[in-house]
Amino acid sequence: MNHDVFKGTFVDNYPNGHGELHYAQTENTYIGDFYNGVPHGTGSLMDHQGKLLYEGPWVEGQQHLPETIIYPNGDVYVGYLDDFGLPTGEGKRFLPSIHLIFSISM
């Protein structure tokens, strides 16, 4: 049984327009645009403590790439991610601690 909670506008029994969806299983929250019941447009995904996990465009319920990841040590990756949130395809990794920028192609 799905215990997700949506706050916003419904059109034809589907979330549409701007709203907020709390995912019961992961305790993550998406705030942003919806179309036909899924995130579509601009939105933000936060964990249960309010930490931003992703902010940017969404297409048919999926994060639309490229994305930016800021690692705990300050390194930054800008590029594409696979379905598990891992870097894949074209991207750039910035290592500010040693002043190095390199391109990644997987």
Round to whole Å and give the CA distance between 3 and 70. Answer: 31
Round to whole Å and give the CA distance between 3 and 34. Answer: 18
Domain shared by 12 and 44, yes or no: yes
Domain shared by 57 and 75, yes or no: no
Reported as a single tens digit per residue, the pLDDT across 16-63 is 999 999 999 999 999 999 999 999 999 999 999 998 888 888 988 888
Domain shared by 55 and 69, yes or no: no
**Paired residues of 59 in beta bridges:** 62
Domain shared by 79 and 103, yes or no: yes
Domain shared by 1 and 53, yes or no: yes
Answer with the residue of higher pLDDT: 83 or 1: 83
Structural domain count of the chain? 2
Domain region containing 89? 65-106
Q: pTM of whole model > 0.75?
A: no
